[in-house]
Chain A
Amino acid sequence: MAHIKLAEGLPGIRGPLVFSPETSKPLGDLVQVLLTGPHSLTPAEREMIAAYVSSENDCFYCQTCHGSTAAQHLGGSDADYELITQIKQNYEAAPVSAKLKTLLAIAGKVQKGGKHVTAEDVAQARTQGATDKEIHDTVLIAAAFCMFNRYVDGLATWQPRDPEIYREIGKMTSQLGYVGRDYKKPLESIMTLQNEAPQNTARQNTDSQKKAQP
């Protein structure tokens, strides 16, 4: 059960966003600029950074949503989802650009603490062609997900485990972005699950207490 009274049936950050409209506005604007705006890093690459940091923070909801959004930006095949899993487990061995690997290394340092980022980490990214803006945005994406992850887990929000829910979230977010969305509206995949198993609907909250599955 969540630590505060949140609207039922809204997964992860959607509960707190609906609970607090005044803060949801800047939070939505921030993630919109960072992950969807015009950029020399693709939306898929920026979502990968978000998914990787969220995985390092062990936030099931954020890593699964942003991993799914990244995979959907790439086309949404099983191989795309497999690539995201590989990045989270060991990005060095994943088939992504050398530049993205150096940026993921910086993001991983930021996750531990800002002071962990060294001049060498930054020099390596530059050697692979990273610009100041790309380094800046990598640091801020990583830092922002250290916030979003803590917001989602610090309130013990409901984080369902069904992969279909995250596939739907990834599809919608890759198409619609983050702002101007109605997060009060229930997800179709959740409605379907609830219709299939009505006796379980109210108690799916207990899922959020279980350890994240890889």
Chain B
Amino acid sequence: MAHIQLPEGLPGIVGPLTFSPDTAQPLLQLAEVLLRGPNTLTSAEREMIAAHVSYRNDCDFCQLSHSAAAAAHLGGNYDLVERAKVNPEGAAVSDKLKALLNIAGKVQKSGKQVTSEDVSRARAHGATDKEIHDTVLIAAAFCMYNRYVDGLATPQPLGREAYREMGERMAHQGYGRARQAASEDVA
């Protein structure tokens, strides 16, 4: 049971977003800009960063939903997403993305863990200042979303299947629309 009285039947962050519309708006806008806004990193790459950080924070809802969104951007390639999420260095992703996932993993522990060497490695593989900035902020933001979802003990369905459709909506319709649809499913 959630720690506070949330609207019934809404999974993960959808409950608190519905409970608190004033904060939902900037939270969704931030996710939309970071994960779907114009960027030299693909949305799939950015969703993998979100999934990796959420996996490291052990947040079921966020890691499963953002894995599903990443896979939706990749035509359903869950295997690649799963590998990048659990062990980026061993995954078939670009060296640049590996270096960015390494930075994201450091941010998950603490901002101070990111070293000049981590940043140099990303630059050596072609990462720009904006890509490094966005990686740090995506990782930091998911340290927020994960705590928001788990800190209120929200209900979180388990298993990949429960998230497939949600991932499709997050990937292709965006974050405002995905939340609205999740609320309507229940209504």
Contact = CB atoms under 8 A, between A and B. Distances in A.
Contacts of B111: 57, 59, 149-155
B150 A30 contact: no
Given A29-B26, A30-B26, A153-B112, A113 B57 contact: yes
B8 interface: no
Nearest to A148: B140
Contacts of B132: 3-4, 155
Given A59-B111, A151-B137, A113 B148 contact: no
Contacts of B49: none
B22 A33 contact: yes
Interface string B1-44: 00111000000000010011011011101100110010000000
A144 interface: yes
A142 interface: yes
A26 B147 contact: no
Given A117-B153, A132-B5, A147-B141, A57 B110 contact: yes
Interface string A156-188: 100000000000000000000000000000000
Contacts of A34: 23
* Contact residues on B (Cβ < 8 Å of other chain), bracket: 35 or more
Contact of A151 (B16, B57, B140): B140
Contacts of A156: 114, 116
B144 interface: yes
Residue among A113, A122, A132, A154 with max Cβ neighbours from chain B (10 Å): A154
B148 A140 contact: yes
Contact of B146 (A23, A59, A114, A149): A114
B12 to A, nearest CB: 11
Contacts of A113: 57-58, 147, 150
Contact of B34 (A19, A23, A109): A23
Interface residues of A, number: 49
Nearest to A131: B4
B143 interface: yes
B133 A19 contact: yes
Given A23-B34, A147-B143, A150-B107, A122 B114 contact: no
Contacts of A142: 147, 151
A30 B23 contact: yes
A117 B152 CA distance: 8
A197 B159 CA distance: 61
Interface in A110-144: 110, 113-115, 117, 119, 122, 132-133, 135-137, 139-140, 142-144
Interface in B35-67: 37, 57-59
A133 B57 CA distance: 25
Nearest to A151: B140
B144 A5 contact: no
B76 to A, nearest CB: 29
A22 to B, nearest CB: 5
Nearest to B114: A154
B80 interface: no
Given A113-B147, A115-B58, A150-B110, A25 B23 contact: no
B140 A150 contact: yes
Nearest to B107: A154
Contacts of A133: 20
B150 A115 contact: yes
A37 interface: yes
Interface in B127-175: 129-130, 132-134, 136-137, 139-141, 143-153
A50 B23 CA distance: 16
A144 B37 contact: no
